[in-house]
Amino acid sequence: MSVLEKLTSADAINLEDQYGAHNYHPLPVVLNRGEGVYVWDVEGKKYYDFLSAYSAVNQGHCHPKIIGAMIEQAQALTLTSRAFYNDKLGIYEEYITKYFGFDKVLPMNTGAEAVETALKICRKWAYEKKGIPENEAQIIVCDGNFHGRTTTIISFSNDENARKNFGPYTAGFIKIAYDDLEALEKAITSSKNIAGFLVEPIQGEAGVYVPSEDYLAKAKALCKANNVLFIADEVQTGIARTGSLLAVCGNCTCENQCEKQSSYVTPDVLILGKAVSGGVYPVSAVLANNDIMNVIKPGQHGSTFGGNPIAAAVAMAALEVVSEEHLAQNARRLGKIFRTELAKYIETSNIATLVRGKGLLNAIVINDTEDSDTAWNICMKLAENGLLAKPTHGNIIRFAPPLVMTETQLSDCVSIIISTLKQFEK
C-alpha cells in the first residue's frame, strides 16, 4: 500500500495487525489529528481524548508553544550524544532542577528508563554511602505497582501477564501492600540492607488507587528515620495531573514553590516522564540532590538520546505551559466537578459502584466482574458517542483528559459519560 494513499480505519487496523507485533489491544479507532482536548479519526469524526496517552498529553494535543520549540530546535541541532556538550542541555538542567527544587537531574527518554536509572542510583548510593555490602541491597516496592516494562521492572510486578515467561527475574526487591504503613515499617526495619522505597503517589495503571491522606508523608518519615531513599514514580501522576504540580505535593496549589508547603513530601529521588514533554517527544528525568546523584560518575550510566537538544527545548516549553496556563489549578477545580457529578449519577444507578481520583486522574468502577467485557463495551459506546477512554484492569475505566480542558467542555463530557452509562443500566 502506498504511503500517499488515504487510509480508512479498517486499512490502518489491518496493516498494524499484519505487520506489527500484537503487544497492545487498542480500541478500534484510528486517529490522524489532535488539537487541545480533541482528536480526530481518519474518517473525520471528532472525539474528546480522555486518556491523554496515559497522561503524557496533559498540555493538550499539539500545543503550539511546545511544537514551536520543537520545530525551532529541530532546524538547528537534533542530537550530539553526550560525547560533546550542546547549548540547550545545561539551560534545561538548570530550568528543571529549579522548577522541582532539586540539585541535579539525569536526563533519559522513557519512563521505564528513568525508573531503571533511579533503581541503579539507589543501589549505588546504598553501597557507596549507606555502606550496605555489595549485591545485598533491597528495594521495597508495592503490590499492584506499574513502573514500566523492562526485565528488572517486570521482575517486581504483580501482573502475571506482564511477567509470565520473561524470567529469570532480577533479585533484590521486597513487595509489600500499597497504602499500608505497618507493612512498610515492618519491611524497612526487617534488615539493615534496605536501600529504597519505590512508590507511585497514586497507583494509576492499577486503577487509580488514591492512598490515605497521610500515607506519603508518613512513608517518607519512615524512610528518613531508617536512612532509606524515598523514590517517587511520578511518571503518570506528575506535571499537574492530580491538581498539584506533583502528587506528592498533597494539597498545595502553588506553582513551583511546593517546598514552602507543609503538606509537601520531598522525595529523595523523583522520577518524571510522559507529560514532561507534553507528549511531543520521549523525555524522562530523574531528579535528586547532590549527595545522592553524585554517586554516578562518567561511564556508569547513560543513553545516546538522553538529554538531546530537542528533548531539552521541548521539555522547557512543556513545563512553561504548565505554569503559564495554571494547569494544576485547572485540574484541581475540574476534577472536583467531575467527581461530584459522577458521584451524583452513580448514587442513582447500578452500572457503576464508585468514582475515585484526584485532580483530573479519575476512574469509575463498573458493577461487573473483573473478567467481564462490560467496561470494554462501555468504552466502545463512549467512542461512538465521541469520547475516548480505555478500561484498565477489566472493570475499571480511567478518565484522564488533557488539563487544558474548559469547564464547558467538561460539562459536555460528563453528559456524554452519564448518557452512555445509562445505556448499560441493568
Ligand X SMILES: *Cc1c(COP(=O)(O)O)cnc(C)c1O
Which residues of the shown chain bind ligand X in the complex (CB under 6 A)? 54, 110-112, 115, 146-148, 200, 204-205, 233, 235-236, 273-274
Neighbouring C-alpha atoms within 13 Å toward the C-beta of 25: 7
From the candidates 49, 179, 233, 268, give the one annotated as an active-site residue: 233
Minimum distance from residue 317 beta carbon to ligand X (Å): 19
DSSP string, 351-407: SEEEEEEETTEEEEEESS-TT-SHHHHHHHHHHHTTEE-EEETTTEEEE---TT--H
Given 50, 102, 146, 424, the catalytic residue: 146
Catalytic site residue 274? yes
The Cα 52–Cα 389 span in angstroms is 9
Enter the C-alpha cell of residue 267.
522525595
- Structural contact between residues 50 and 401, judged by C-beta atoms closer than 8 angstroms: yes
Q: Which CB atom, from 54 or from 424, has the smaller least distance to ligand X?
A: 54
Q: Which is nearer to ligand X, 236 or 420 (CB)?
A: 236
Q: Is 233 labeled as catalytic in the residue annotation?
A: yes
Task: List beta partners, residue 92.
Answer: none
d(C-alpha 204, C-alpha 233), whole Å: 11
Catalytic residue among 124, 220, 274, 390: 274
CB of 52 to ligand X, least distance (A): 12
CB of 232 vs ligand X, minimal distance in Å? 10
Q: Are 198 and 119 in contact (CB under 8 A)?
A: yes
Q: Which amino acid is at 260?
A: K
The answer to whether 15 and 1 are in contact (CB under 8 A) is: yes
Nearer to ligand X, 59 or 236 (CB): 236
In the complex, least distance from residue 199 CB atom to ligand X, rounded to whole angstroms: 10
Residue with Cβ nearer ligand X (36 or 144): 144
Closer to ligand X by CB, 111 or 307: give it.
111
**Bridge partner list, 363:** 356, 398
Q: Can you say whether residue 357 is alpha, beta or left, with left for phi > 0 and alpha for psi between -120 and 50 degrees?
A: left
Query: Helix crossing, 374-384 with 407-422: angle to 10°?
Result: 130
Q: Give the whole-angstrom CA distance, residue 187 versus residue 183.
A: 6
Nearer to ligand X, 111 or 351 (CB): 111
Q: Nearest distance from residue 171's CB to ligand X, in Å?
A: 21
- Smallest distance from the beta carbon of 112 to ligand X, in angstroms? 3
C-alpha cell of residue 392: 484498565
- 318, 241 Cβ separation under 8 angstroms: no
The rounded distance, in Å, linking the Cα atoms of 335 and 44 is: 29
Least distance (Å) between residue 145 CB and ligand X: 8
Which residue, 19 or 24, has its beta carbon nearer to ligand X?
24
Q: Does residue 100 have an active-site annotation?
A: no
Residues identified as active-site: 146, 233, 274
